[in-house]
Chains A and B, each alone.
Chain A
Amino acid sequence: MSSSADLNTGVARKSRRSDRRRPRISGLGLALLAPALFLLSLFFFAPVILTGVFAFTDLSTSTGIGRGQYVVTPNLLRQLGDQGLTEDDATAIASVSISIDEAGIARATEGGVDPDFLSEIEDRFAGESFDDPRAFSRELRGLPNAPRRPRELTQTAEYFETSVLNTRFDNPEALTAQLADVAPDVSSDTIAWIVDRSYTGARFTTANFERLATQKETLRLIGNTALYVAATLGLFNVGLGLFLAIVLFYTPKPVTSFYSTLWLLPRITPLVLYAIMWKWFTWEDGFLPIIADQLGLPSFNYMKGSVVTAWMTMISLNGFIGASFGLILFSGALRAIPMQQLWASEVDGANRWQQVRRIILPQMRWPILFVTSYQTLSLLSSYEQIWLTTNGGPGRTTTVWALEAFTTALSNYTGNLQYGLGAAMALVLVVVGLVLSIIYLRLFKFSELVSRPKIEL
């Protein structure tokens, strides 16, 4: 009895302890989180999952996004001819027969063709057959009651026509039936093969990843992207942001707020306007080239005129936007440093540089972590500024992964947009982003930041 009571207390004690460790799930909390979870799944998980699915397809403009149809075209027959379709089979499938028989008349009557016109067709052509639809249409046009509109005429002609070529079927069964009708001598295996190949929609494939893994271009894109992200991040987003924050930290307050606002301008200027300003700034007859000309320095279109200046332009114009982000965050973090530490260091005779090195920087680890990881991810996926300015040029020297994914999937001169390949490229970015996030979190020991405090408050 007593032992069992002890046991019970033991269980109770243990369970209380585990209660404290395990976060309690409350209904209210879930209800409050629900909108956020809904939005998260709608705007993050769903796109990522769709990208993941599309990445394994050959989706493009010519396959369409929705369900495809089944259509046998002359081009398809030609392709199949290369892969073993016999000439006889191809000819049989491509054949068109037009016969003016009772069945056709019945179909036309049911379809609502003008009875007068129909009786003329019957009187004039009953029992005849044609093998060229255009010739038949011409004959029909000669009849006194022929409709005025070409479309009505071609539709009437179609009721008498048996063919499969260029007709779109919604399901494989309908095409199979029609093929068997048009070309009864073709074996059912061949018909099944043709039906399978006639599908116009997208198919599942790993070819996108094989292509990315084997093409040389991939290496160049990776190199460009790494250089772009590292340089923009190191020089501007973190480097310049931190430098400015520290400089402003030591300057008198009225000046600080003015300069902070000034540095925000690139971020609050609409992107397209900002891109145009940079063009005005760097193009021939623009601000910089004119000044360079006055100073006797090489003066040309810096944005597109040479590989080095194109890179400098691209990194700077992105960097000035990013620098303001670092500036705000670092300024806030600096104010959190207890002033007493700085006063004490001054009493000990520390100069500004020593204060920065020994007091400020060690306490800026978390903000630097945050800016680095956040900006790496946003730079990896950003292409708009590049697209609007260098557009990956000159040549393809400043093309980064995200821009290439965008042009492949969504913006292409020839109009055949390769959604599948673009999605595969985007998926690679998502995976790289996730991996980098994990590395950053480990590197900066993020778990320490969110661990329970060592003293209870």
Chain B
Amino acid sequence: MTFTATRTALTAALLSSVAFGAAAEDYTITVWAGGSGDNATYRWEAIEMAADLMEREAAVRGEELTITVESQAWTGWDDFKQAFTLASEADNAPDIIVSGHEDIGPWSEAGLIVPIEDYVFFDSYPLNTIYPNLIDVATFNGQIWGIPQDAEARVMYWSIPALEAIGWSADEIDSLPDRIASGEFTLYDMLDAVKKMQDAGVLEANMGFAPRVSNGPDYWQFYQSFGGEMADEESGKLVVDTEALKGTYQFFVDATEMGVVSGTHLGSEWDVWHQNAASGNYGAWHGGTWHYAQWTNQFGLEDFFNTVQYSLIPAGNDAGRANSITHPLVYLVTSAASEDEAVIAAELIAKASTPEINALHAVKSAHLAISEDETTVPLYAENRWLAAASERLAPSTNAIPNNSDFGVYWTAMFDGLEAAWTGVSSVDDAVAEVETTVKQALGDDVIIR
């Protein structure tokens, strides 16, 4: 009798613990976000918000779900990508990673990430509202690996007071973006204009033109301005267009020789660049849409719309076109996540991509919307800069190719640019060096034009 009673009690206890175990789910999801400064906190806070939402939805369904989100923000890119790849090899990687879409190539080949399309429905809300071209950017080898976290455009900025000082009329300044878009106003016209500003004493020497100070997708815009194509659309192979590269390198060499930018500009400090850009010390400079947030929030730029004109990156010659590159970050689920964690992680990412939540990131960091619906969220729609950039710049943007070999080409292209720009080698030698390096590393997988 006693024995039976004990056994019944034991069975009941066991059963209840099993039942409890089935109902209460407890997850810890780790998120690492790269290139994330003070303005980009919603890259991981959106996941925290999504976790809260998911817990509430589970409670409504009568389930008990606890999700703890642990996040790490990385300000840089090099150390972030190094940390992630090494952590993955050591089985120590986070469950969700926010990185540039170009990492999908090498990371998916190495098996560090899993295709998110296995975990979410792309024809359900909110993923069905995301712009199809952004989904393409997250696609590699016929599979969708990630969900776009933001979009952007890269911009040529112009100092309106400096343009006025060399006698440009208000009409000329207003029509500048259109003249650039049509290809009428080229990169060399820009050099002439900023040279005039320097000669007139409006700007100091070497301050006429201020390109980005470090490696980044931006320099591929100039390659496109001179007619270059990064990858062949039909075969998907990378393309080294030697004429376009020569045009690009020569442009920066010419700019240095004209004295509108210093030969050692690359590698100078971001903060100094931001400060000068925000203070109107440059004639023309190029950066991203998101820099607007930094200048207005941290560097004291007050009257942006009356002091700064903005446009696409002008064409370099007849072969090229005015253009802008978008470099969306993507949410990726890593192979470090267990199957259960991956399911939760993917659903969190999908929830974090709802228009309202993503708009918080877009507006706070001055990035562009990932869906048409997001542009109608009042917070976003009321933002003058985002509305303007979405209209003037976004339609002309394209992305760098998702190709695991692109890194080799990218590094070689930037090395060549530095070599030519600093005068370490001639433009022809620098281009020949890029051609040799890329050909040597990639063989038949690259087309040399």
Contact = CB atoms under 8 A, between A and B. Distances in A.
Interface of A: 60-66, 69, 73-75, 78-79, 82-83, 138, 141, 149-151, 154, 165-166, 168, 200, 211, 214-217, 220, 283-284, 301, 304-307, 310, 390-391, 393-397, 410-417
Contacts of A284: 272
B425 to A, nearest CB: 8
Contacts of B422: 307, 394-397
A64 B441 contact: no
B236 interface: yes
B264 A64 contact: no
A138 B122 CA distance: 11
B415 interface: yes
Contact of B266 (A65, A217, A394, A410): A394
Given A215-B437, A416-B106, A151 B343 contact: yes
A390 to B, nearest CB: 7
A414 B444 contact: no
A168 B111 contact: yes
A73 B406 CA distance: 17
A415 B407 contact: yes
Given A168-B111, A413-B410, A415-B81, A214 B236 contact: no
A60 B118 contact: no
B2 interface: no
9 contacts: A73-B141, A150-B121, A211-B440, A215-B440, A283-B269, A395-B267, A395-B424, A414-B102, A415-B107
B119 A151 contact: yes
B345 to A, nearest CB: 11
A306 B415 CA distance: 18
A410 B82 contact: yes
Given A60-B106, A69-B111, A397-B424, A166 B143 contact: yes
B143 A62 contact: no
Contacts of B227: none
Nearest to B436: A215
A252 B440 CA distance: 63
Interface string B123-154: 10000000000000000011100000000000
B410 A217 contact: no
B411 interface: yes
A413 B412 CA distance: 12
Contacts of B118: 150-151, 154
Given A150-B119, A151-B342, 18 more contacts: A61-B110, A64-B89, A78-B235, A138-B123, A166-B143, A168-B111, A215-B440, A306-B264, A394-B264, A395-B266, A395-B422, A395-B423, A395-B424, A397-B422, A415-B107, A416-B407, A416-B408, A417-B81
A391 B267 contact: yes
Contacts of A413: 77-78, 81, 215-216, 407, 410-411, 414
A411 B82 contact: yes
Interface of B: 77-79, 81-82, 84-85, 89, 99-100, 102-103, 105-107, 109-112, 115, 118-121, 123, 141-143, 215-216, 235-236, 262-264, 266-269, 272, 339, 342-343, 346-347, 404, 406-408, 410-411, 414-415, 418-419, 421-424, 433, 436-437, 440-441, 444-445
Nearest to B122: A134
A154 B342 CA distance: 14
Contacts of B120: 150
B89 A66 contact: yes
B89 A65 contact: yes
A410 to B, nearest CB: 5
A414 B119 contact: no
B444 A83 contact: yes
Nearest to B445: A79
A277 B427 CA distance: 36
A416 B440 contact: no
A179 B264 CA distance: 55
Given A79-B445, A168-B111, A415-B81, A393 B102 contact: no
Given A151-B119, A396-B419, A413-B78, A200 B111 contact: yes
A50 B105 CA distance: 27
Is the contact region of chain B dominated by helix, strand, or loop, or is it mixed?
helix
A62 B424 contact: no
A394 B261 CA distance: 14
B410 to A, nearest CB: 5
A169 B79 CA distance: 31
Contacts of A214: 440
B215 A149 contact: no
Given A413-B77, A413-B411, A61 B107 contact: yes
B227 to A, nearest CB: 23
A395 B120 CA distance: 45
B267 A393 contact: yes
A307 B264 contact: yes
Given A73-B141, A74-B141, A416-B407, A62 B267 contact: no
B46 to A, nearest CB: 20
A82 B216 CA distance: 31
Contact of A414 (B79, B272, B411, B445): B411
Given A62-B105, A150-B119, A413-B411, A304 B419 contact: no
B411 A305 contact: no
A415 B85 contact: yes
Contacts of A390: 267
Contacts of A78: 235-236
A410 B82 CA distance: 6
A304 B267 CA distance: 7
Contacts of B77: 413
Nearest to B216: A413
Contact of B78 (A138, A305, A412): A412
Contacts of B215: 413
Given A64-B110, A151-B119, A415-B99, A216 B82 contact: no
Contacts of B410: 413-414
Contacts of B424: 220, 395-397
B37 to A, nearest CB: 17
Contact of A141 (B106, B121, B342, B421): B121
B38 to A, nearest CB: 20
Contacts of A151: 118-119, 339, 342-343, 346
A301 B339 CA distance: 52
Nearest to A417: B85
A200 B335 CA distance: 16
A307 B418 CA distance: 13
Contacts of B109: 62-63, 200
B264 A395 contact: yes
